Amino acid sequence: MKKMKFLLVAFLLSAGAFPLLSNAQDPIDPEKRLKELGIELIIPKEPSNIKLASRVGNIVYLSGNGPLLPNGEFMIGKVGEDVDLEQAKEAARLTAISLLAALKGEIGDLNKVKKVVKVLGMVNAVPSFKDHIQVINEFSKVMVDVFGPNGKHARSAVGLGSLPRNIPVEIEMIVELKE
């Protein structure tokens, strides 16, 4: 009988029958969160020979993106030389916004996102720079701010000797969509 009561309580907790005792949360609305965070997404035009996002089933692979400034130009500079740590973090935040815009352009509504799965963050840095993780943490923070727990992801943060256009940060992302 004790085992049966335990199973019943476990079932009720997992089903959210006792909301104060369970870990159930209201679902996050990423579109609403963007507005609350003051982030406006400008859907980019797709280049002629590549896709900004490529969908296979319920997985979206996003091409590497960089820090696009409000004037439409990319932030440029090598971290540790032309760009300091705080500027590099801002570059990662801007890159997060660029990737969210590319994702929205592909799927139409960010509420279709089930989970941010994997991120590859590349930092254009001098050889002595050692804070790559801190830079890419800013990107990860934006994903969690927008998607809540579903924004947490597996991630690599690496330093490179150069990046296209001399941008300080380039990031690519893999996202799973809801069925």
For the residues of 130-149, what is the DSSP string, one character each?
--HHHHHHHHHHHHHHHHGG
**pLDDT for res 162:** 96
d(Cα 111, Cα 64) in Å, to the nearest integer? 22
Lowest-confidence segment of 23-32, 118-127, 157-166 by average pLDDT: 23-32
Q: How many Å separate Cα 11 from the centre of its chain?
A: 33
What is the CATH topology of the domain spanning 27-177?
60s Ribosomal Protein L30; Chain: A; (3.30.1330)
Mean pLDDT of all residues in 134-138: 98
Residue 127 pLDDT grade (very low, low, confident, very high; cuts 50, 70, 90): very high
**pLDDT for res 22:** 41
How confident is the model over 25-82, as pLDDT tens digits? 668 999 999 999 999 998 888 888 899 999 999 999 999 999 999 888 999 999 999 9
The length of the chain in residues reads 179
Percent of the chain with pLDDT over 90: 78
The model's pTM is 0.84
